[in-house]
Amino acid sequence: IQPLHNVVVIAATNRPDLLDPALLRPGRFDKVIYVPPPDRRARLDILRIHTRTMPLAEDVDLEHLAELTEGYTGADLEALCREAALLALRRDINATKVHMSHFLEALKRIRPSLTPDMVKFYEEWYEKARQQFQARRATQVKPMIYA
């Protein structure tokens, strides 16, 4: 074992309520960052990323798809794009473009993995954790270092 300097450890979970409280003690994970579901603009960016190499027909409206995908995560949007491409090929193995109809059909098959109740739960958990971190920092006494 050797000392490491300037090391940052980042972790992610979909179940913050199941974290061992010891992980959140001072000196372990000292900061909690809530990453909300992507908003319309972020969903549009994610859709653009996952269709960047996809031959899209002129009728594909990514702006409209971003509006239709409220509650979708980045992974959900990736699955949506993949499903639309597969639908195009299933309908015509020689298809050269993915049409809006393929995306609309894919929307029926690929549902958002987050519900409003789940988002509310995450937001409430984050607010509680944030308050606990603030309270803990307020009671910590930092040593004075004199040079």
Instruction: Give the pLDDT score at 1.
Output: 83
Where is average pLDDT lowest: 31-35, 87-91, 140-144?
140-144
User: Would you kindly state where each structural domain of the chain is located, as residue ranges?
Assistant: 40-109
CB-neighbour burial class of residue 14 (10 A; exposed 0-12, middle 13-18, buried 19+): exposed
- The answer to whether 133 touches 31, Cβ cutoff 8 Å, is yes
Distance of CA 143 to the CA centre of its chain: 38
The answer, yes or no, to whether residue 40 has pLDDT greater than 60, is yes
40-109 has which fold?
Answer: Helicase, Ruva Protein; domain 3 (1.10.8)
Average pLDDT, the chain: 90
